[in-house]
Structure 1
Amino acid sequence: MGPAPRILELFYDVLSPYSWLGFEVLCRYQHLWNIKLQLRPTLIAGIMKDSGNQPPAMVPRKGQYIFKEIPLLKQFFQVPLNIPKDFFGETVKKGSINAMRFLTTVSMEQPEMLEKVSREIWMRVWSRDEDITEYQSILAVSV
């Protein structure tokens, strides 16, 4: 019997492809790394606003880099990550507030479902280029 697992909190937003990569790696290796993963849905737009930062995609050079980096990260981490067709219109401008509110509710009401539901929302936006802003789209993941 080894040491007790350390608690690791992951604060994430489904709008961020980098959050998804971190999420998948931590979920994949939590037992090997002897950590107890606690998922914390967090609205990244609020953090960006309060800190005075812009999302990386809105900074011209960072935005260009993301489009080159995503295919490499997809291959390296074996996560089905694809940039949505209308990335700026659909993803960045509409945001993730409804999806993140939903995930916060899932974390409070059915925490055992949070990993599965979070992954499915990421799959909607970052793999299948589907909506995550309308309530009916979000509720479709819980069925």
Structure 2
Amino acid sequence: MENKWKGVSIRYIPFSIREIMMESGNSPPAVLPARKKMLSVDVKRTGKFWDIPLTPPPKFMEWIMKYTTTGAMQVLLVLEEQDKELMLRAAREFWMRLWSRSEKIFEDQDFVEVLKAIGVKNVDEVIEKSKEEKFAKILAANTQRGVDMSVSHLAHS
């Protein structure tokens, strides 16, 4: 695929989109009737534009009302501390599970499957470490930075 963003450096930062939306006063597209109608169209259009397999999971609404991605984000933070490339591979695998294969990414068993898929040997250790207060605090700080940027952007628009 052609690189449409030549010269752009991307830094992946795990955060809670749910918290950013709540704190900034934004509502998720799936809970607003007009945006909900367009969500499927937008997802298909995005997948086609970027030439990536992108399919909304059939249980997406059920899942977003029941689960959060907090645990997955904290697993990514543990991996980032160990090896940034490993974190990127896990982030891609989480994404593929949810948006290409309609598989969950919210519970410990989901994390086990992702970590095994990317070749992590100490799977249980990574999952246990992700539950440490340290990683909850890093996630909260990353999320707060996103809230601050969102609110700042809204104030300047």
User: TM-score range, shorter-chain basis?
Assistant: 0.7 to 0.9
**Distance verdict in 2 for CA 1:79–1:92, change over 3 Å:** farther
- Structure 1 segments unaligned to the other structure (5+ residues): 1-24
In structure 1, C-alpha distance between the alignment counterparts of 2:46 and 2:24, rounded to whole Å: 27
Structure 1 equivalent of residue 52 of structure 2: 79
Q: What letter corresponds to residue 68 of structure 1 in structure 2?
A: V
Structure 2 equivalent of residue 16 of structure 1: none
Structure 2 equivalent of residue 88 of structure 1: 61
User: Identity over the aligned pairs, expressed in percent?
Assistant: 29
CA drift of 1:136 comes to 1.4
Question: What whole-Å deviation, never above 9, does each CA across 1:67-120 have from its counterpart, x for those lacking one?
Answer: 122122211211111010111101354121111111122222221212211010
Structure 1 equivalent of residue 114 of structure 2: 141
SS in 2 for 1:81: coil
Structure 1 equivalent of residue 81 of structure 2: 108
Bigger Cα displacement from structure 2, 86-95 vs 99-108: 86-95
In structure 2, C-alpha distance between the alignment counterparts of 1:50 and 1:133, rounded to whole Å: 22
In structure 1, C-alpha distance between the alignment counterparts of 2:66 and 2:36, rounded to whole Å: 14
- Structure 2 segments unaligned to the other structure (5+ residues): 117-157
Paired residues in the alignment total: 116
- The 8 Å contact of residues 80 and 127 in structure 1, kept in 2 or not, is answered as yes
Higher RCO, Cα 8 Å, sep 6+: 2
- The 8 Å contact of residues 39 and 114 in structure 1, kept in 2 or not, is answered as no
Structure 1 equivalent of residue 9 of structure 2: 36
TM-score, normalising length from structure 2? 0.66
RMSD of Structure 2 on Structure 1 (CA): 2.1
In structure 2, C-alpha distance between the alignment counterparts of 1:73 and 1:37, rounded to whole Å: 19
Q: What letter corresponds to residue 98 of structure 2 in structure 1?
A: V
